[in-house]
Amino acid sequence: MMQRIARFIIPRSLLGQVMLVLAPGLLVGQAISGVLLYRANLERHQERLVNAIAIRLIEGRERGAGFQGRPPLRAMHGERDANYRLGGPLRFRIRMQQLDRSPEQAGDVRMTEMESGLANLLEEEGVEAGEIVVLQRLAGDDPLVAEYPRLQARFRDLDWSKRPIMVAAIRNTDGKWQVARMPLAREPSGVGRSIVFQTLVIFLVLTALLYPVLRRITRPLAQLKQRVEDFAEAPDKAVPIEERGPDDIRRLIAAHNAMETRIAALLDEKDVMLGAIGHDLKTPLAALRVRIESVGDEAQRTRMAQSIEDITNTLDDILNLARVGRASDPLERTDLAALTAAVVEEFEDMGDPVELGDTQRLVAPVHATWLRRALRNLISNALRYGEKARVTVAQDGDDAVILIDDNGPGIPVDQIAAMMEPFQRGDASRNRGTGGAGLGLTLARAIAEQHGGRLVLSNRAEGGLRAEIRLPH
């Protein structure tokens, strides 16, 4: 089930798979880049906050006059700082405050990274600090902000008490705490949307750039694949492919063109050689067949004629096997039931025990002459080794199936595959006295494969062998 889903989701073409890998790879890369950029911006923001709060603390110490208890309001919002805002509207700076104790109170969050950065910065500036505290709290929890309505009004927000501020303090050598406050910016929003938008833009740009390049590579490969399939069906027709694409693809196409031409030439040479062999052997065999008529011993003459007939049949089988797959006539849509009935009728006319069983009218594109030869071979084998044969035609899914059953000894399971190889014969029950050269099954298998089908041999549960020619229709 998972494999079927994977085949449906994952593209089968090289172009589709490359584009499929590009999309998640780009998304992951952009996500990592976005996180790194976000952290870098956050660190720069924290650094600016540390610098600003350090300047406040240093200035307050140098002036030596902090505000005890409650500083005047004009000192708290008399100056504006556009660099540090709280949600946009807040642009005030809360000036220094000097306390006798640490400003930390219940509910505060210690900002340890800011404390470390502030300590390092003060050390670089030569400022001695006995203790450093950096806190984050809500504006509503800060006693100084909560005490002044005019200060709260600068938040311009009904929910001003939920806005965060930073409180930084250093303890002087006299035990006093120098305290400064700074509004904290809101967390940046829309980062995810920004990353998705950037990823989409980059993906579209890369797709626009990569698609023509990949198409230039995959189109010649697709043509080469189609040509290989065509050549497998008609190997006697060499059609060179135009060399296109990158140099590697061009060299591959050139090598294929050369190989295809060589194979076609070899097949032509084979046909010429087989034709010469057939002519050179059949002529003396025919002459020998005439000469044995002068032999007086009838039994001897019969054996000699049978030997000549066996040689002639074997030679015909070899020549037919060599020509399978190179038929020049086109496929014709043929009624398989009618074709099978005609072949069975030929055996019945000769008095052979061949029975035509149930048949279905199935039409398939075939070479009728070759298919008849395959059926004759299989029925002859069934009669030779099983005494009688039963032939049926049925449909199995998308296949049209011609079945030939016999009542013979069958074939050991471990020898079934070997029996379809050339010149292979069975065990002692299939001795040479039964005739044949071991090419009948090989030729039948080659004819079935020529039609895009296959030959299947199996032992029947009730005894005997079943041969199936399965053809697409």
Here the CATH number for the domain that contains residue 352 is: 3.30.565.10
Q: List 137's β-bridge partners, or say none.
A: 165
Residue 372 lies in a domain: yes
Name the residue among 455, 459, 458 with its Cα closest to residue 442.
455
Strands 164-171 and 332-335: unpaired
Q: List 250's β-bridge partners, or say none.
A: none
CA distances from 331 to 24, 52, 267, 337, 387 (A): 48, 89, 21, 17, 34
Strands 177-183 and 354-356: unpaired
Contacts by residues 312-316 (CB-CB < 8 Å, ≥ 24 positions apart): 312/282, 312/285, 313/437, 314/437, 314/439, 315/278, 315/281, 315/282, 315/285
Provide the phi-psi class of 95: left if phi over 0, else alpha when psi is between -120 and 50, else beta: beta
Q: What is the per-residue pLDDT for 189?
A: 61
Contacts by residues 158-164 (CB-CB < 8 Å, ≥ 24 positions apart): 162/138, 163/86, 163/87, 163/90, 163/138, 163/139, 164/86, 164/136, 164/137, 164/138, 164/139
**Cα distance between the two ends of the chain:** 27
Q: What pTM does this model have? A: 0.48
Strands 399-406 and 94-99: unpaired
Among 166, 183, 200, the domain-final residue is 183
Among 157, 183, 209, the domain-final residue is 183
Q: Mean pLDDT of successive 10-residue segments in the chain (473 residues)? A: 56 74 77 79 82 82 49 35 34 64 89 88 82 89 78 66 86 85 69 72 82 84 87 77 86 91 83 74 79 81 81 75 64 90 91 90 88 90 88 90 90 84 55 55 86 90 90 85
d(CA 154, CA 163): 12
d(CA 47, CA 9): 48
Q: Count the domains in the chain.
A: 2
Torsion, Cα of 200, 204, 210, 214 (10° steps): 100
The token pair at 44 is: 């720069």
Q: What is the per-residue pLDDT for 92?
A: 42
Among 139, 166, 183, the domain-final residue is 183
Residue 299 lies in a domain: no
Residue 125 lies in a domain: yes
426: three-class secondary structure by DSSP:
coil
CA distances from 7 to 215, 313, 402 (A): 22, 49, 32
Torsion, Cα of 381, 382, 384, 387 (10° steps): 180
228: three-class secondary structure by DSSP:
helix
148: three-class secondary structure by DSSP:
coil
Residue 256 lies in a domain: no
Percent helix, strand and coil across the chain, each rounded to 5? 55, 15, 30
Residue 216 lies in a domain: no
Range(s) of the domain holding residue 139: 28-183
Name the residue among 141, 131, 191, 130 with its Cα closest to residue 166.
141
E strands present in 388-449? 389-396, 399-406
d(CA 8, CA 16): 12
Strands 399-406 and 465-472: antiparallel
Residue 50 lies in a domain: yes
Residue 140 lies in a domain: yes
Residue 401 lies in a domain: yes
